[in-house]
Amino acid sequence: MRNSILISIATLLSAAPAFADGGASSGTLSNSALYALGASLAIGIAALGGALGQGRIGASAMDGIARNPQAAKAMFVPMILGLVLIESLVIYALVIAFMLQGKI
């Protein structure tokens, strides 16, 4: 545990030039930085929410099939439809992230 904390701190300290200011000394963010932040947040939050939703759907389907194995065929199509709709929302967020990246 302590070893991993020390490695994390050493990595952060050695990466200090990566966090250096590129020339905007006024302390404000430029529009391109805000677009990049918006794109990264859009895809990150969408991927997190999609993964949680898909995990919950999968767990519920497995629980339902374990309780009633004869209903597995009836549960399959709604489960796949739910997974497809969740994945489409994540793909929409990816498209929005690409559109925001195009403005940089």
Range of the domain at 55: 51-104
Helix crossing, 72-102 with 31-67: angle to 10°?
Answer: 180
Of residues 27 and 66, more confidently modeled: 66
With a pLDDT cut of 90, the percent of the chain lying above it is 28
- Residue 32: inside a domain: no
Averaged confidence pLDDT in the chain: 82
The average pLDDT across 3-8 equals: 75
pLDDT digit string, tens, across residues 88-97:
988 998 888 8
- Residue 41: inside a domain: no
CA dihedral defined by 78, 81, 85, 88, rounded to 10 degrees? Answer: 160
Tell me the pTM.
0.62
Domain count, the chain: 1
- Residue 61: inside a domain: yes
For the chain, how are helix, strand and coil distributed in percent, rounded to 5?
A: 85, 0, 15
Of residues 47 and 2, more confidently modeled: 47
Token duo for residue 101: 């990246």
Residue 36: predicted pLDDT: 83
- Residue 72: inside a domain: yes
